[in-house]
Structure 1
């Protein structure tokens, strides 16, 4: 196995001010030097500061030439001990086994080890482990990690190795035999329930972008009690969505009403002069811009040939859309002139202006320029005006939509359940999401309801550009979507939990399809409010990115609103369903009532989501009149 490259980070206010106070960092480097299989070319000292710790970790992991990062210090209960809080959000796959190994080793020496709060896991292809600050604890933990080649084996796997040699050695010793029966032992008392299982969760290589998932065929008692997916922030989740979705291909489309909603993929130029000659956009009189105000004779198409320049002292009456005679470069509108006199025909009736308008104003020629982007009615009119019969646009994504759940029943095509005492519940999400997609102009492949079982197919994904599912993302015994995506479809789960309310278990993944294309999959929560909120927050930006929208415009618009109802804050970023109304003072947001994720009624009348910040010790509630951002999902109402 190639040499393992190590970086050591000492976290200490004291040592950051005086490097000679750092004893733990040199101790780690000395231990590594004695093994012969590690090299340590990076050693940094930072203060007990979250940003400084995270910056060092991120820099090393981004470089890609560090296999193992060891931190020392900041893992206790001191007021400045923040290493676990700094590193935990960065971990993409946690390693609780390594934490247990270190704690066990230290607890054998002293019960005070229980006050240590180590964390371990991977960031990209780098293993990160936190150690206490004392030299004694460092030696105990390093001894545990290096014993039996634990870290060496872990890094081999992280690098993409198979670990065949280690597995073979274990098998030869009778340890980890594949023939050993799997068993689950449940010990129950009246006050506690302790579950022990010898079944092992499946760990996927981060180099392929996967997280630790339990095998979907395991019995319920053997599944995770805590999700293996790290909680990530709203901002990081949105960033992952846009980074992992590629814009669809370009195609030619006829310039018809069906072009609406597409995004242009080319700069549009008129195939010829449009119009072919100078014309007017208003009824009035054509003249030269050098003509001064005065009384002028009025010429018409009956009295003057349009191909002949107008003589001095005359103007030419012209109607909207009509061509200008040669030499004329200005049109003055009828309402900006004054009638002086007319002449009569043979019958004595007023027939024509006699020549005689007082020019009170004149206008220079105007040029029209427009930057076309997303095509709506006005853009279609412009393309038609310049004579473009077809244009290049980005393909508009087709959405495959399905619901998961043995308990769901289609309202329009109810199928009886096997039991006599259970009628099921109506599938709310699929109809509401399909309506939302249709309102946004997307074509939908409705795949119906798929039961919670492994035979659930990714039907239609080869014919659609994105798969949208609801249900099967939480911690229930039949919530199997994440492991199915990873194990059966070789998909990559980019995130499985987000710090938003509602919608914490929202999942975003990509699945390899024909032609080497990785198509996006969004597994939204099954509760109706969660599904609709997360659709607007995560799926709409993905659809726009697929369809060629500029990234800066992929998210739904946010506007400032005043709260008309007091609102309590949550530890997560909350999208509170509201009705937004406009009055003379601006926009006001009225809560739609109870905000439980299962409360469908909270969606009725909602045309926006107020974005509530996370709760803090200093702030747990927003009062009436507070100005907050709101996401618009419908038309703003007037009082």
Structure 2
């Protein structure tokens, strides 16, 4: 039985669910047509909340949803944001279904021309947005269900051949054939599929890149990829990437940045028995200030009268003792001596105070009790030492965590030379470029605790690109490349991804500076479960662009692969006071800065100077990226010192 989720988008109904009529109408209709309704929800006309619900249902692997239907928010009203919320999530748009929805509604009212429906797939889930009126919901669902269209679409999305539905539709074709055609004319298939019934699952999107086998004159002169917003790009990344499987790891410093895949429960009381939390002498709380003989060997019997037992911090308390006097509150009265008469250790001490019961003693289980929840599943283990110390403290030797991704890195370009290669270093006429990106990215990756596979430099030919990307697919969970993303004849990454690996380019340009040609793609895994893929980032070749886009896009992807929740994947944003004039660009810009804590408690942002994307010095010492807005028409050309703006923190803030 196919499963469905229904989302009502309405400010009014979100405050009182009894006012929701369209959602229950859709649910009842679908139940009546044999669907199992797994989820129903009502949210206000809020882009983020709509996306959260749709994304959660589409990505729920434990309870897969075949169809998501939304109602409301598809018009031209100021609060009608459903299309804007859903469209960026769609991987394969279904314009035919949109046309069917609109044409069926226009039969009833011309006002349907103001509706903005969206239809398409997210993974193996079909999403359809419908208007908010009960009448329109019924009309649209009836149109989608006619002749088994909806069932046919869902069958194909799930990888079926559609044969049984084709046969059913063929047997009832008299209901769907063109009424103007005579019975003597041959009857075309009602769905107009010009192929056999053995359907292949369609590719997620059209291949837009040029065919690298064609001559330069036949290739694109302008990028065929839509320039997307920063928010769209990040949303696409976090939607496409799913956490890696769990693994059992030893408790060690290598756990930094891992996400727990289990609840961690204390196996026993800590401490197991009564212990001291100071250096001193265990005694009875009834013992008055006096001179006592000092015992140092373990006692099986209760502490004898007239004696005290020497203990160090953390030592167990002997039987019969119920308090500990600190060393500072005692005086040595006599000592044991060696053969030469030198002092060895105290023989007797005088106590200077009477100690109350329980003083300086840690009771059994006073730190942690057996069965206590020490860490919850999904906790991110930090690198500050406290989390690993806590695991060691309770005696946890191994722990199940989500696996951290391994990253394969490579640089592209005939002009790039490895710093340690030794070639072309003596000629003054050499015009090559030292490879800056691999060393810088590897440094950043390893500082976050990720293992790196260095694939070296790839020359500008298809064979080498295919070979190195395949090596990355075989050895890593994410591939990170720099260069080869623009419009030159040697820029081969997008074509190789699409033409040789049947990959999907989710975005190939971003409206930002630096980093406009940043590319994010996924490549299907061979012999893996349906839907599994390897993410690949092709960053710009300019060093500043590469590092900026690494922090903005790649690091969140790595964290998502490692099991971090989506709302924790991005680096923190804070408000800062800029100390230098910063010019605005038509695109949103990330200006490299040094963040310092001011005496007045504010964070000051000092520019690192010229921001040309090839100027590596703009990153020297930079620990933040000031997010400058795009220059608006008739707006200011610059932001002046003293203004407060948002900044991304990429390193430790200086004092």
TM over 0.5: yes
**2:381 is the alignment partner of 1:365:** no
SS at match of 1:503: coil
- Following the alignment from structure 1 to structure 2, what is the Cα–Cα distance between the partners of residues 65 and 548? 26
Call closer, same or farther: CA 1:319–1:474 in 2, change over 3 Å: same
Q: 1:504 aligns with which of 516, 519, 524?
A: 516
Task: Tell me if 1:301 matches 2:281.
Answer: no
2:462 to 433, 437, 454: 454
Q: Which one of 495, 502, 513 corresponds to residue 483 of structure 1? A: 495
CA distance in 2, matches of 1:477, 1:122: 36
| Residue equivalent to 2:645 | 628
Cα distance in 2 between the residues matched to 1:368 and 1:541: 36
Contact 1:501 1:574 in 2 (8 A): yes
- Indicate the residue corresponding to 1:593 in structure 2: 609
Q: 1:395 to 1:86 in 2, by over 3 A?
A: closer
Residue 610 of structure 1 corresponds to 626
In the TM superposition, residue 518 of structure 1 has moved relative to its aligned partner by 0.9
Distance 1:389 1:224 in 2: 57
Deviation at 1:432, TM superposition (A): 1.3
> Structure 1 residue 625: deviation in Å?
2.7
Partner of 1:431: 439
Match status 1:251 vs 2:212: no
Query: What is the deviation of 1:446?
Result: 1.2
Q: Does 1:278 align with 2:274?
A: yes
**Cα distance in 2, alignment partners of residues 450 and 531 from structure 1:** 17
Give 1:187's aligned residue.
Answer: none
- Find 1:230's aligned residue among 220, 226, 245: 226
Q: Residues of 2 paired with 1:72 and 1:264: CA distance?
A: 41
Give the 3-state SS of the residue equivalent to 1:473 in structure 2. Answer: coil
Look up the SS of the partner of 2:577 in the other structure: strand
Alignment of 1:457-468 (within 5 A): 457=466, 458=469, 459-468=471-480
Root-mean-square deviation (CA), in Å?
5.4
Residues 150-176 of structure 1: CA deviation (Å, up to 9, x unaligned): xxxxx9xx99999xxxxxxxxxxxxxx
Q: Is contact 1:374-1:549 (8 Å) kept?
A: no
Mean alpha-carbon deviation: is it higher for 317-326 or for 613-622?
613-622
Match of 1:216 among 211, 218, 230: 211
1:597 is displaced (CA, Å) by 1.4
Alignment partner of 1:242: what SS?
helix
Q: CA deviation at 1:566?
A: 2.5
Q: Which residue of the other structure, out of 450, 453, 460, is the alignment partner of 1:445?
A: 453
CA separation in 1, counterparts of 2:590 and 2:67?
A: 40
Aligned-partner Cα distance in 2 for 1:523–1:269: 42
Query: What is the TM-score of this pair, normalised by structure 1?
Result: 0.63
Q: Distance in 2 between matches of 1:255 and 1:84?
A: 47
Per the TM alignment, residue 605 of structure 1 is displaced from its structure 2 partner at its CA by 1.8
Moved over 6 A (4+): 62-67, 71-74, 82-96, 119-122, 125-128, 158-162, 311-315, 343-350
Matched, 1:495 2:510: no
Q: Do the aligned residues in 2 keep the contact of 1:297 with 1:357 (CA within 8 Å)?
A: no
Alignment of 1:114-133 (within 5 A): 124=121
Moved more, 353-362 or 595-604: 353-362
| Helix, strand or coil at the partner of 2:571 | coil
Picking from 522, 540, 545, the partner of 1:530 is 545
Structure-2 change in CA distance of 1:88 and 1:622 (3 Å): farther
Residues 66 and 520 from structure 1, CA distance in 2 versus in 1: closer, same or farther, beyond 3 angstroms? closer
Q: Gaps (5+ residues) in structure 1?
A: 1-49, 97-118, 129-154, 163-204
Instruction: Tell me, yes or no, if the aligned pair for 1:296 and 1:314 is still in contact at 8 Å.
Output: no
Q: Do the aligned residues in 1 keep the contact of 2:277 with 2:313 (CA within 8 Å)?
A: yes
Equivalent positions of 1:59-98 (< 5 A) are none
The 8 Å contact of residues 258 and 401 in structure 2, kept in 1 or not, is answered as yes
Unaligned runs of 5+ in 2: 1-44, 59-64, 96-115, 130-152, 163-199, 369-373
Residue 381 of structure 2 is matched in structure 1 by: 374
2:312 paired residue number: 319
The CA distance in 1 between the partners of 2:351 and 2:387, in whole Å, is 41
Change (3 A) 1:464 1:93: closer
2:417 counterpart of 1:409: yes
Structure 1 residues 478 and 612, CA gap change in structure 2 (3 angstroms): same
Q: What is the number of residues matched between the two proteins?
A: 497
1:104 corresponds to: none
3-state SS, counterpart of residue 494 of structure 1: strand
Distance (whole Å) between structure 2 residues aligned to residue 508 and residue 607 of structure 1: 25
SS, match of residue 543 in structure 1: helix
1:212-252 residue CA offsets vs partner (Å, 9 max, x unmatched) = 50332333344334433333332332222222222222223
Q: Distance in 1 between matches of 2:83 and 2:525?
A: 39
Q: Which residue of 2 aligns with 1:13?
A: none
Alignment partners' CA distance in 2, 1:557 and 1:72: 34
1:266 counterpart SS class? coil
Flag the 1:617–1:353 CA change in 2: closer, same or farther, 3 A. farther
Structure 1 position 398 matched with structure 2 position 400: no
Q: How far is 1:590 from its partner?
A: 0.8
Q: Pick from 597, 619, 625 the counterpart of residue 582 of structure 1.
A: 597
Question: 2:573, 2:335 → 1: CA distance?
Answer: 64
